[in-house]
Structure 1
């Protein structure tokens, strides 16, 4: 990259991505309410879910220095302190985060998940976009930080690969905003994602041209796994990079884990468009972000 980012700029980019992530999450979650159908805008307010709560913890754990990156111990402590099981967390995440809250070191809690296999879920990916926007000046740095952030809760290679993919996507999207010009989002992501089923899905995504085909071939998160949600969400982001509304509506129209795919795609697209690309009335409809993350951004 040919530009330098100062701490305030990094924080602003991450905040824009968090806005897009949280609005996408809250918007998508409303379509699990009986009677809500794609093509209609839900009545406010729109509560957000665990996707936003974890993303807020990630943003709050970022430090101001260019090279300092993520404080993983602080991130884990924030996850344990703030998690609300009624926000839609899966049972495995609830057990792990309770262990962390009660003092179990995060490497032990993450490694013990799913009978010692570690989580291959999409939790690391759903929260990752603001971290990528923070590292808009280096997709390689974003990939490394994405893996480190994922490992706090996801010891399985697929869960880590999903976190890396979304982090890099947001980094590339934010860089394109700053530099201008076209971007091959999926190609840029593939340059940094390790061999995995997530990567295989991203390769398949490069050949897909319609949202219907993308949903059918890649999956829409119905299994809540990184490999059946990240490729679809990044296909949507790549094909709607300048159109936030179109991106999250495409996630809802596809069905599946709508809040999570909309959070991923929304966080990446808002890294490119800025918060100004998110409909103002949607930001107003979204439940306000917690005061503790707002305070961390203003500090």
Structure 2
């Protein structure tokens, strides 16, 4: 990578990835759905998009401001957006003033969350860091740790952040990246990374869903490898990526959000069908206000 990213370019890349994430999330939330004949809008987005909006709103040069991110997650989270009970408990504690490191570490009887929540929101952060996969991995871990203290939950956030960074870098370089290999190289050892390594030899979507999982357990390890296999396989075809996630079932809004955010980082907004963007519920006004000043 030889390009230089200025703040305005970083923000544009993050917002384009967010568009792909949010459309995938909103359409996936209507599952069962056939993306070839999607339902009429508006398509309401879920906690995947809400948390990603919080992340984008605090992006700036330097290290992610985790205190600001945690405060925004606590203040803006809407329980009606399909949050899981564990996430609601952590975010409620943060909203009520408990420091985020304590809230995250106490989750799930002190084990921390191994869920897919850090991964589902991470793609825009990766697009922001398109000029350095190593930097993306560090910042992906920092963002994940705000709500996920378990190593696998953190690894899921790292993997998706790096995937989106690689995708955006490929777009800027004009070269399609070897996505899964790049992600596996920057993901900490563990079950998420094992899934990414296994994904590299899989050629068929049905086999990928069967072997890697589709998020039915809402864990990083059974969500991220499949979603990134889809992103890698359909990196230049956003509708096909969303269709593959929808056909597989499982945690469809989350797999669509992850794959959609990564693929849009590669295709840009032109890869997302215009009518899908129009059908998606508008993003929150507070995000628009926060990013308009950048």
Q: TM-score range by the shorter chain?
A: over 0.9
How far has the Cα of 1:294 moved from its partner? 1.1
1:114 aligns to what SS in structure 2? Answer: helix
- 1:133 corresponds in structure 2 to 127
Consecutive unaligned residues of structure 2, counting only runs of 5 or more, are none
Q: Pick closer, same or farther for the CA change 1:38–1:17 going to 2, 3 Å.
A: closer
Q: Deviations over 1:103-131 (max 9, x none)?
A: 00000000000000000000000000000
Match of 2:42 among 45, 50, 53: 45
Q: How does 1:1-299 map to 2 (within 5 A)?
A: 1-31=1-31, 36-37=33-34, 39-63=36-60, 65=61, 68-299=62-293
CA distance in 1, matches of 2:95, 2:44: 24
How far has the Cα of 1:40 moved from its partner? 3.0
Note if contact 1:38-1:253 (Cα within 8 Å) is conserved in structure 2.
no
CA distance in 2, matches of 1:198, 1:52: 22
Q: Deviations over 1:44-98 (max 9, x none)?
A: 11000000000000000111x2xx1311000000000000111010001111101
TM superposition outliers: structure 1 runs of 4+ over 6 Å: none
TM-score (norm 1): 0.97
CA distance in 2, matches of 1:214, 1:40: 24
Q: Pick closer, same or farther for the CA change 1:203–1:244 going to 2, 3 Å.
A: same
CA distance in 2, matches of 1:189, 1:295: 33
Consecutive unaligned residues of structure 1, counting only runs of 5 or more, are none
2:3 aligns to what SS in structure 1? Answer: coil
